[in-house]
Amino acid sequence: MAITEQECKELKKRATQIRKDIVDVTGWAGGSHIGGALSMTEIMTLLYWKYLKVDPNNPYWDDRDRFVLSKGHGGVGHAVVLAQKGYFDPELLKEFNHSGSPFGMHLDGNKVKGVDASTGSLGHGLPVAAGMALGARVRKKDWRVYCLMGDGECDEGSIWEAAMAAAHFKLNNLIGFVDRNHLMIDGFTEDIMSLEPLAEKWAAFRWKVYEVDGHSFTELAAAIEAAQAYNDGPAVIIANTIKGKGVDFMENKPGWHYGGLNADLIAKAKAALDREE
Amino acid sequence: MSGGLTWNVYDADKLTQREIYGLVLTELGARYPEIVGLSADLAMSTKIGTFGEHYPDRFFNVGIAEQNLFGMAAGLAKAGLIPFVSTFSAFASMRAVEFLRTDICYQKLNCKIIATHGGTSFGPAGSTHHATEDLAIVRALANLVVIVPADALETANAVRACMDINGPVYIRIGRGFEPRVYESENYGFEIGKAVEMCPGTDITVIACGATVFHAVEAAKLLKEDDGLSVRVLNVHTLKPIDREAILKAVEETRRIVTFEDHNIIGGLGTAVADVIAESGKGCAFQKVGIPDEFTIIGYPEDIMHYYKIDADGIIEKVREVMGRDFEADEDWEDEV
């Protein structure tokens, strides 16, 4: 078993705290891409608190693992994780989205410590991550690159250009995630532009595919360790998730791709998260 | 320049811009182990393949996928390497432009884009393969240095010099049939500094890339036939542009004509016009290039003749601008 019950318990607690902070930042910011930030929380928590070899005190450590948030609009979730990891003072997040703040909705790697790639425009993160993984090979380094994509993002042709290249170059140090929450801005993925059969698509592009419950630490951990052990090329973990996870009035609601929260909704959101815990 | 090095001297009469680029990059590859090369199924056409033959472990052909080409280059730069990326100018500046902008320029990454087949140099291929918008597009990308070498020797200089810049550089070269402009590589190439190809006091012709050769030829003929003293400036770096050399030319010759193998919107002429307009100095001014239209098909020399950016066209346009009434500004000194 990749993960102990005790670890699971602690990670769950951490995830709840991350979700609550996302709710707070959404309030301070006047709005955020909260739905997709909540769906990816377990993936982020597990990576940053168990698998990523990084050092918040030395964010540019050459041998670190790289993390690329290809679904760059999840920046609010990434920023909360980085703050909790100690990359910067969490107080700074009170300025999220504000004029002159280093934090915009899509994080700028030149302004925010711990952000390995500036993303936001969809379909860019996987090509960049593939380049980083190839760079490790050229430099004879053993870092891994983890890249978290959105499911709607997989409409972008450049994702598949990079997918083809990562398999061609047998980038076994590259592990992708698809936050499969089934929603995009205009509605459900299968209504707007159907992705299925998604696992078969990745497999046809010669990626090793794992499909898991994206809110289960046990399943995610098992998949990550299997992907790490897979040597023949890149691996992708399709994480089935719920957009808005943990906040009952947001779950599976297309309208909560982006939204703001007043004091009343913040209280309701936190109460819902307490009930989940 | 990366000081104290003895460079190979290439035979620019026999080698094209692209061939020399390939050789220079190979030479740089020996000195800089962090250089990697990338292309999108144009390794042979762009001559970056020469580097690949010498350093197969540092060369990657990503197939016909230009978005991924630039995205992966960004990742390689993020990994501490110095990627040289080569494809045709049309694809570098248009098919992949958002990846160039967001992944490379926004993050100010140390990537060098060597875009070949610039302007109308791939003439018979037709407008899909002409790049008459690339300079307008890439000039608007923040953090990006933009260089258009005049010939193969200047290409060698530019490719070497771009290593001294810790950031993205776009070098636009032709298909490789540009006549030689310089006698040797030792004329003091410096990024951001225009080269005065011919001294002159009556009018200044400003050129870059393929039009420089023709401007020099035209200046010689105009001297012989019309007794005109034509200054020729090779503004090989479009960004950052050499404001000083341009304003000096305005002050000393008061008539400026720009010639470029590019749409007259947004390229060399526009860059020069910006400098002049912002200076508040008056002068007779004319931009010559591809008018706002998709180019005709043909051999590059025929296309250049058609759009009046070859020596014949330059002579015609210079005569036109010399004949133009221009009221000299008596208060010039006050304004300086």
Looking at the predicted structure, is the pLDDT value of residue B2 above 90? no
List residues bridging with B39 in a β-sheet: B61, B86
For residue A258, what is the DSSP state? S
Predicted pLDDT at B44? 87
* In chain A, % of residues over pLDDT 90: 99
With beta carbons under 8 A apart, name residues in chain A contacting B83: 131
> Structural domain of residue B166, as residue ranges?
17-172
Predicted pLDDT at B12? 72
B179 or A77: which carries more pLDDT confidence?
A: A77
pLDDT grade, residue A266 (50/70/90)? Answer: very high
Is B139 a member of any domain? yes
Nearest CA in chain B to A107: B107
**B211-226 vs B311-322: helix axis angle to the nearest 10?**
60
Nearest CA in chain A to B82: A135
**Is this complex's ipTM strictly greater than 0.85?**
yes
Which amino acid is it at A209? V
What length does chain A have? 277
Is B96 a member of any domain? yes
**B137 and B64 co-located in one domain:** yes
Q: Which domains does chain A have, with CATH numbers?
A: 5-276 (3.40.50.970)
**B166 and B26 co-located in one domain:** yes
Looking at the predicted structure, is the pLDDT value of residue B5 above 50? no
Taking each continuous run of H as one helix and of E as one strand, the counts in chain B are: 14, 12
Domain boundary among B172, B205, B227: B172
**B148 and B239 co-located in one domain:** no
- A158 and B68 within 8 Å at the Cβ level: the answer is yes
For residue A104, what is the DSSP state? -
- A165 and B80 within 8 Å at the Cβ level: the answer is no
- A135 and B74 within 8 Å at the Cβ level: the answer is no
- B75 and A127 within 8 Å at the Cβ level: the answer is yes
Q: How far is B45 from chain A (nearest CA, A)?
A: 21
- B78 and A158 within 8 Å at the Cβ level: the answer is no
With beta carbons under 8 A apart, name residues in chain B contacting A129: 75
Is B99 a member of any domain? yes
> For the segment B27-69, what is each residue's pLDDT rounded down to a tens digit?
999 999 999 999 999 988 888 889 999 999 999 999 999 999 9
Q: State mean pLDDT over B123-147.
A: 96
**B294 and B210 co-located in one domain:** yes
**Residue found under tokens 């700028």:** A108
Dihedral Cα B45, B47, B49, B54, nearest 10 deg: 160
Nearest CA in chain A to B35: A138
Instruction: Return the CATH number at B80.
Output: 3.40.50.970
> For the segment A129-180, what is each residue's pLDDT rounded down to a tens digit?
999 999 999 999 999 999 999 999 999 999 999 999 999 999 999 999 999 9
* In chain B, % of residues over pLDDT 70: 94
Domain boundary among B139, B157, B172: B172
With beta carbons under 8 A apart, name residues in chain B contacting A157: 67
Q: What are phi and psi of A165, to 5 degrees?
A: -70, -40
Is B101 a member of any domain? yes
Looking at the predicted structure, is the pLDDT value of residue B165 above 50? yes
**B93 and B145 co-located in one domain:** yes
Total count of domains within chain B: 2
- A130 and B102 within 8 Å at the Cβ level: the answer is no
Q: State mean pLDDT over B127-139.
A: 97
Contact B215, B195 (CB under 8 A): no
Mutate to test the interface with A, among B78, B99, B107 (most CBs of A within 10 A): B78
**B310 and B216 co-located in one domain:** yes
Round to whole Å and give the CA distance between B162 and B146.
10
Q: State mean pLDDT over B258-278.
A: 98
Contacts 24+ apart (CB under 8 A), A89-92: A90/A21
pLDDT grade, residue A2 (50/70/90)? Answer: confident
Neighbours of B26 (CB within 10 A): 20
CA distance from start to end of chain B = 33
> For the segment A75-122, what is each residue's pLDDT rounded down to a tens digit?
999 999 999 999 999 999 999 999 999 999 999 999 999 999 999 999
**B153 and B30 co-located in one domain:** yes
Q: State mean pLDDT over A240-254.
A: 97
Q: A168, A241, A246: which is closest to A211 by C-alpha?
A: A241
**B200 and B247 co-located in one domain:** yes
Is B255 a member of any domain? yes
Structure token digits, residue B93: 């500046």
- A127 and B106 within 8 Å at the Cβ level: the answer is no
> For the segment A30-88, what is each residue's pLDDT rounded down to a tens digit?
999 999 999 999 999 999 999 999 999 999 999 999 999 999 999 999 999 999 999 99
Is B308 a member of any domain? yes
Q: How far is B152 from chain A (nearest CA, A)?
A: 30
Predicted pLDDT at A1? 62
Q: Are strands B145-147 and B237-239 parallel, antiparallel or unpaired?
A: antiparallel
**B159 and B216 co-located in one domain:** no
Which among B67, B102, B108 has CB closest to A110?
B108
- A135 and B75 within 8 Å at the Cβ level: the answer is yes
**B164 and B201 co-located in one domain:** no
Catalytic residue among B27, B66, B185, B217: B66
Enter the pTM of the model: 0.95
**B246 and B313 co-located in one domain:** yes
**B22 and B150 co-located in one domain:** yes
> For the segment A15-26, what is each residue's pLDDT rounded down to a tens digit?
999 999 999 999
Nearest CA in chain A to B67: A158
Q: State mean pLDDT over A244-262.
A: 96
Predicted pLDDT at B15? 81
Predicted pLDDT at B89? 97
Nearest CA in chain A to B38: A131
Nearest CA in chain B to A112: B107
Q: State mean pLDDT over A24-29.
A: 97
With beta carbons under 8 A apart, name residues in chain A contacting B103: 117-118, 124, 127-128
Catalytic site includes residue B66: yes
Looking at the predicted structure, is the pLDDT value of residue B6 above 60? no
Q: What are phi and psi of B78, to 5 degrees?
A: -60, -25
pLDDT grade, residue B14 (50/70/90)? Answer: confident
Q: What are phi and psi of B227, to 5 degrees?
A: 65, 25
Q: How many CB pairs under 8 A join A and B?
A: 110
Q: Residue B176, by phi and psi: left (phi above 0), alpha (psi -120 to 50) or beta?
A: left
How much is the mean pLDDT over chain B? 93
Predicted pLDDT at B3? 40
Looking at the predicted structure, is the pLDDT value of residue A256 above 90? yes
Which among A116, A135, A162 has CB closest to B76?
A135
Mutate to test the interface with B, among A124, A128, A143, A169 (most CBs of B within 10 A): A128
Q: What are phi and psi of B119, to 5 degrees?
A: 60, -135
pLDDT grade, residue B212 (50/70/90)? Answer: very high
Round to whole Å and give the CA distance between B235 and B232.
9
- B79 and A130 within 8 Å at the Cβ level: the answer is no
Q: State mean pLDDT over B312-321.
A: 98
Is B166 a member of any domain? yes
Domain boundary among B140, B172, B204: B172
With beta carbons under 8 A apart, name residues in chain A contacting B78: 66, 116-117, 128, 131-132, 135
Predicted pLDDT at A131? 98
A201 or B14: which carries more pLDDT confidence?
A: A201
Instruction: Return the CATH number at B305.
Output: 3.40.50.920
Is B161 a member of any domain? yes
pLDDT grade, residue B331 (50/70/90)? Answer: low
